[in-house]
Amino acid sequence: MAFDVQEIRKDFPILHREVNGHPLVYLDNAATSQKPQQVIDALVHYYSHYNANIHRGVHTLSQEATDAYEIARKKIQEHFNIEHKEEVIFTSGTTQGINLVAHGFSEFLNQGDEVIVSALEHHSNIVPWQMLCERTGAILKVIPMDVDGTLVLSEFEQLLSSNTKLVFVNHISNALGIINPIAEIIEKAHAVGASVLIDGAQSCSHIKPDLRALNCDFYVTSAHKMCGPTGVGILYGKREWLSKLPPYQGGGEMIKEVTFEKTTYADLPHKFEAGTPNIAGGIGFGAALDYLNGIGFDAIAQYETELLNYATEELLKIEGVTIYGTGSEKTSVISFNIEGIHPYDIGTIVDKLGIAVRTGHHCAQPIMDFYNIPGTVRASFAFYNTLEEVDRLVAAVKKAKMMLS
């Protein structure tokens, strides 16, 4: 099917509303993507026709809900090319997946062991590892970044040693849009016996990762960045690791047998899925994958690259604009500032013109400290944005500059 952005936009109800008297231009996709009607319908259909708890009932509604939820897990397995279905753990999102792994590794780290993260990480891929190091006496080390926003891999190689137990890197920087060379990072980490977790929150709406080919030990992502519902995501973990990690939470569903003397735990994946899950969210996640695969990730990538290149070219024509994250491998995110103007002020003015962008440090404060700036204006594009919307952004930034200079 030929890529037709105008036809695609018809699937997204929110894109047809106005904000402050102007047609909405939604350019905050790196924070959360909008939802097509097909995903909204999947949520409504669940609540309207077979709302029930799963895995616990013999009645018809429970069985229908269980089947739909497990079909969604199977879709996720196939989409990410995961070897075993039980390696797909439903979570509330990327942050919970990271914390689950960090909690579990408390049992495997000792004083003097080393954990490596990158300078490009979101706070959710920094703070849990700092907490882990505080609990265990392990040492946190950081892969430095270069001025173009890329990681200095030669320094990463120097950090690696027999003491390295864990390496955590995002697939794509949420603040800069830089795509990290994760295949190379995984290979180098494995060469010294370290395990690797990849934060895929920003990548999975742009790239279809093949987790079997990547051979990472863990991969986490969230549905809400992929046209799916909020409050649901997945942790992929190799079966041998998930079998070793202790449960993250105790409660219903994650048990095999409970007595007051001893509890035994359920098999994977239920060992890590305590309590009633976000059933509708899981089903909606599956519907979102169906939708994205119907468009095709090659077509999405090609179109978003066109948006990125055009927006970069046009914004750089504005005097005083600096773009952060200029490495050659990046996705459709532009973080920029105008000399002498605070990013919050720009964001406020363009919002008055109906344009949604993100301002601030984007939960990546170390990156802002590296550039010695308070934050940036971040415009993040999705496959349903248009070149005309880029033109409106550029015109709005020009107006903001004129008003604030």
Query: CA angle, corner 327, sides to 323 and 331, nearest 5?
Result: 80
Q: Which residues of 34-71 are buried (b: 16+ CB within 10 A; e: fewer)?
A: bbbeebbebbeebeeebebebbeeeeeebebbbebbee
Q: Over 90: is that where the pLDDT of 199 sits?
A: yes
pLDDT score recorded for residue 1: 58
List, as one string, the DSSP characters of 190-232: HHTT-EEEEE-TTTTTT----HHHH--SEEEEEGGGTTS-SS-
Exposure letters 223-249 (e unless 16+ CB within 10 A, then b)? bbbbbbbbbbbbbbbbeebbeebebbe
Residues 6 or more apart from 213 whose CB is under 8 A from it? 81
Sign, CA torsion 26/27/30/36: positive
pLDDT band, residue 204 (cuts 50/70/90): very high
Residue 38 has pLDDT above 90, yes or no: yes
2: helix, strand or coil: coil
- The SS3 assignment for 169 reads strand
The tokens of 152 are what?
Answer: 């200095």
Angle at 153 between CA 307 and CA 106, to 5 degrees: 100
User: Domains (ranges, CATH) in the chain?
Assistant: 5-30+296-404 (3.90.1150.10), 40-293 (3.40.640.10)
Predicted local confidence at residue 309, as pLDDT: 98
Q: Examine the pLDDT at 101 and tell me if it is beyond 70.
A: yes
Name the band, by pLDDT with cuts 50, 70 and 90, for residue 256: confident
Mean pLDDT over each residue of the chain, to the nearest integer? 96
At 264, is the pLDDT very low, low, confident or very high (cuts 50, 70, 90)? confident
Catalytic site residue from 133, 204, 227, 363: 363
pLDDT of residue 57: 81
Residue 2 has pLDDT above 90, yes or no: no
Q: Which amino acid is at 317?
A: K
CB of 354 closer than 8 Å to CB of 275: no
In what side-by-side order are the strands of the sheet with 88-91?
A: 88-91, 233-237, 218-222, 195-199, 164-170, 114-118, 139-143
For the segment 111-139, the average pLDDT, to the nearest whole number, is 96
Cβ atoms within 10 Å, residue 348? 13
Identify the helix (H) or strand (E) that includes residue 336: strand 333-338
Per the DSSP assignment, residues forming a β-bridge with 380 are 28, 333
Q: Which residues of 111-128 are buried (b: 16+ CB within 10 A; e: fewer)?
A: eebbbbbbbbbbbbbbbb
Give mean pLDDT, residues 346-370: 97
Residues 165-186 have a mean pLDDT of: 98
Residue 401: which of 311, 335, 297, 315 has the closest Cα? 315
pLDDT of residue 259: 73
**183: confidence class by pLDDT, cuts 50, 70, 90:** very high
Split at pLDDT 50, 70, 90, the class of 114 is very high
pLDDT score recorded for residue 347: 97
pLDDT, position 157: 97
pLDDT, position 167? 98
Lowest mean pLDDT, pick from 7-11, 39-43, 149-153, 243-247: 243-247
184-188's contacts with Cβ under 8 Å and 24+ in sequence apart are: 184/153, 185/153, 185/156, 186/214, 186/215, 186/216, 187/215, 188/153, 188/156, 188/157, 188/160
pLDDT at 30 over 90: yes
Would you place residue 249 in the very low, low, confident or very high pLDDT band (cuts 50, 70, 90)? confident
Look at residues 83, 352, 389, 123 and name the one whose alpha carbon lies nearest to residue 236.
83
Give the pair of three-digit tokens for residue 150: 């890329």
- Is 363 a catalytic site residue? yes
**Rounded distance between C-alpha atoms, residue 376 and residue 28, angstroms:** 13
Per-residue model confidence as pLDDT tens digits over 219-245: 999 999 999 999 999 999 999 999 999
Alpha carbon 214 to chain centroid distance?
Answer: 17
Pairing mode, if any, of strands 88-91 and 114-118?
unpaired
Closest CA to 247 of 272, 267, 269: 272
